[in-house]
Amino acid sequence: MALQDVCGFLETLDDISPCTYLPNEMGYMWRTPFEFDRDSAFHFLFPPQQCSRKNRAPTLFSSTFSSLSPHQQPFQLSHGTTTLGFIFQDGVIAAADTRASCKGLICCPISQKIMPIHSHLVVNTSGSGADCMLWERILTREMRLYQLRHRKRLSINGAAKLLSTMLHPFKGTNVCVAATLCGWDGEETQDTLQSCMEIADVKEAVEQDSNVSAISDVSAQGGVKMASINEQDEISKDTQALNPTVSNQNTKNVLSTFGGRSGPRVCYVCSDGLQLKGEIISVGSGSPYAYAVLDDGWRWGMTVDEAVALAREAVFRATHWDAYSGNNVDLFHITAHGWRRRDREDLKEEYYREREREKKKIKEREKERQKREGDELVEGEGDIYSVHCG
Amino acid sequence: MSNPPSCRNMEYLIGIQGPDFVLVAADNVAASSIIQMKHDYDKMFKLSDKILLLCVGEAGDTVQFAEYIQKNVQLYKMRNGYELSPAAAANFTRKNLADYLRSRTPYHVNLLLAGYDETDGPGLYYMDYLSALAKAPFAAHGYGAFLTLSILDRYYRPDLTREEAVDLLKKCLEELNKRFIMNLPSFTVRLIDKDGIHDMEKLPVGPK
């Protein structure tokens, strides 16, 4: 297909890193592991220096444009996951599946892809599991250091910039991290403002898919774990620009009336260097499926239940279609008070529940159709050969 | 999911120089593989009151390089008390790009630098990832350039008014909408003249 060719879409999937063999002192061709400059305390923050290879003349295998010779990967790294994060009037929802895959094998069906960094920030990770765990810890350390030095928390955008800058030296190497920082920015102010929940109950008709409402019923039964709560009493939200029937422009008004200092934030950072702030971010092989659901159902003025239901459904649909996503769904909700975690849910159950719901709906529609036909016959049309649609 | 090299050209930049202004536009799509992750991404970096740097290319390189240039131009102003001219800024950018080109970390970015100078007037500079620099009356980057450069050739005149320049820009964007395989729904448009940088209405090219 033209677009596929022009984008080179399938090129990446078939890409195999070239195998490079380097001669050691004895002249044998061995694959050499990365050599670390162990003297530097921050040696893991920089790509390994090629000190031992300085004196070698450039060989056929060294290339101008790569800082390191990649060694043969035993398997293809890919972002086999579905993670998503979005903001709305009452905070941020971060959701992810729990399947860790390695080509065709499910390495771990119960991995945790959403890690809390501090009380008001969680990070959704995808990419290489080891890289993600390491960089989460590095980010946590750097943010804590910032907080200790400057006596205030680093903002989400600042954290994204920090992570992006730390990852930049590794561009071109095999570090594979795609992180979505979801959190609440800023200190809570003492402005007296309307509570968000009042805004949510607004006159506007809620267009809800019955599926979504059904899921939200079930989700209401799910447990909610309070992991950390701030001592602040009030929830401060700026309501001047808040309008549930908001367009993109109004959302920006809201975010800017937060003064850029306080409010929900979602930020995407990739080891490629891509850094994006947005309202809805989804990453991974299942992200196209999730985007489709999110784009359809997202509104700024959603209630918490609606948002949770939307996130669950997005992950559910993605896990249905994507082979590399599945098992359970984790869900975090971050507000000005901190993050709260919902109990992990098995999506297999959800799949069967949905099948039952569909069966019930078909039966109901059938009954309705028969009833309608029955009524029309009674009305005296007498034409039993007429066909009714729907 | 890293983008293959061919993906870098899907973005579009265009600049048109008039007798006393420069009009520039950039698309608003931030894409990762086949997904449009953002629809309102701003690809222009303000170097000074009258200089804009438009930057597209490899995912992380664009922001890193453009911000590096931006901060250095601002540092120059702080140290010396006066701003770099657009020509000087363009040459500074080119020198940096060239220095990095044969290093371990070359930046794969395509740039347009647009500015207004008190003495020299308006200037539009085209720079590509191999750090080739050319001052041009009109310029474009990306696959979209293939479709629009001939339109610019036909209708460009050195004494365009602002309205005519915007019309010419609209013509180009309509052609993109008609023939370019990628959907680029909206473009940020800015105009630089002796009074500074002016934001103009975003151009969403609707279906005809």
> Looking up tokens 């630089």, which residue turns up?
B192
Residue pair A90/A197 in contact by the 8 Å Cβ criterion = yes
Q: Do the strands B51-57 and B109-117 form a parallel or antiparallel pair, or are they unpaired? A: antiparallel
The answer to whether B201 faces chain A, any CB pair under 8 Å, is no
Contact B4 A12 (CB under 8 A): yes
Which range of residues forms the domain containing residue A338?
79-188+261-346
Output the domain CATH number for residue B172.
3.60.20.10
| Residue range(s) defining the domain that contains residue B123 | 12-201
- A12 catalytic? Reply is no
Residue B61 near chain A (CB below 8 Å): yes
User: Does residue B78 sit at the A interface (CB-CB below 8 Å)?
Assistant: no
Classify residue B131: in a domain, yes or no: yes
- Mutate: best of B40, B62, B104, B143, partner A, most A CBs <10 A: B104
pLDDT string in tens for chain B (208-residue length): 456 666 678 899 999 999 999 999 999 999 887 888 899 999 999 999 999 999 999 888 999 999 999 999 999 999 999 999 999 999 999 999 999 999 988 999 999 999 999 999 999 999 999 999 999 999 999 999 999 999 999 999 999 999 999 999 999 999 999 999 988 999 999 999 999 999 998 887 555 4
Interface ipTM above 0.85: no
Mean pLDDT value across chain A: 71
From chain B, pick out residues whose CB is under 8 angstroms from the CB of A2: 181
Q: What residue in A sits closest to B40 (Cα-Cα)?
A: A278
Nearest to B12 by CA among B166, B184, B154: B184
Q: How many domains does chain B have?
A: 1
For chain B, say whether A253 makes contact (Cβ under 8 Å): no
Closest residue in chain B to residue A248, using alpha carbons only:
B40
End-to-end CA distance of chain A: 37
Which residue has 């170097």 as its token pair?
B47
Nearest CB to B60; choose among A12, A168, A285: A168
The whole-angstrom separation of Cα A37 and Cα A224 is 46
Inter-chain residue contact A2 with B181, CB threshold 8 Å: yes
Cβ contact A273–B38 (<8 Å): no
- Looking at the DSSP assignment, which residues form a beta bridge with residue A330? A96
Which of A5-9, A13-17, A25-29 has the highest mean predicted lDDT (pLDDT)?
A5-9
Of A81, A82, A251, A335, the catalytic one is: A81
Q: How many A/B residue pairs have CB atoms within 8 Å?
A: 81
* CA pair distance B168, B178, nearest whole angstrom: 15
Looking at residue B40, the DSSP 8-state letter turns out to be S
Give the predicted TM-score (pTM) of the model. Answer: 0.70
Contact B38 A276 (CB under 8 A): yes
Lowest mean pLDDT among A62-71, A174-183, A266-275, B5-14: A62-71
Indicate whether B2 belongs to any domain. Answer: no
Q: Is residue A133 part of a domain?
A: yes
- Is residue A227 within 8 A of residue A341, CB to CB? The reply is yes
A79–chain B Cβ distance below 8 A for any pair: yes
Decide if A215 touches B, using CB distance below 8 A.
no
Q: Which two tokens stand for residue B149?
A: 């450069």
Within-domain flag for A293: yes
Long-range contacts of B70-74 (CB under 8 A, 24+ apart): B70/B45, B70/B46, B73/B47, B73/B48, B74/B47, B74/B48
Per DSSP (E only), the strands in chain B are 13-17, 21-27, 30-32, 35-38, 44-48, 51-57, 109-117, 121-127, 133-135, 138-141, 186-193, 196-204
Q: What is the pLDDT of residue A387?
A: 55
Asked if the C-beta of B60 comes within 8 angstroms of chain A's C-beta atoms, the answer is yes
Residue B1 lies in a domain: no
Chain-chain contact of B1 with A2 (C-beta, under 8 angstroms) = no
The owner of tokens 């992570």 is A163
Most B CBs within 10 Å: which of A4, A49, A274, A289, as the mutation test of the B interface? A274
Summarize the confidence of residues A308-314 as an average pLDDT.
Answer: 93
Distance from CA of A82 to the nearest CA of B (A): 13
* pLDDT recorded at residue A183: 94
- Residue A157 counted as domain residue: yes
User: Do the domain assignments include residue B96?
Assistant: yes
Give B32's contacts in chain A (Cβ within 8 Å).
Answer: 270, 274
- pLDDT digit string (tens) for A223-267? 444 333 333 333 333 333 333 443 444 444 444 444 457 899 999
CATH number of the domain within which A177 lies: 3.60.20.10
Output the pLDDT for position A273: 86
> How many structural domains compose chain A?
1
Domain membership of residue A26 (yes or no) is: no
Query: Is A147 contained in some domain?
Result: yes
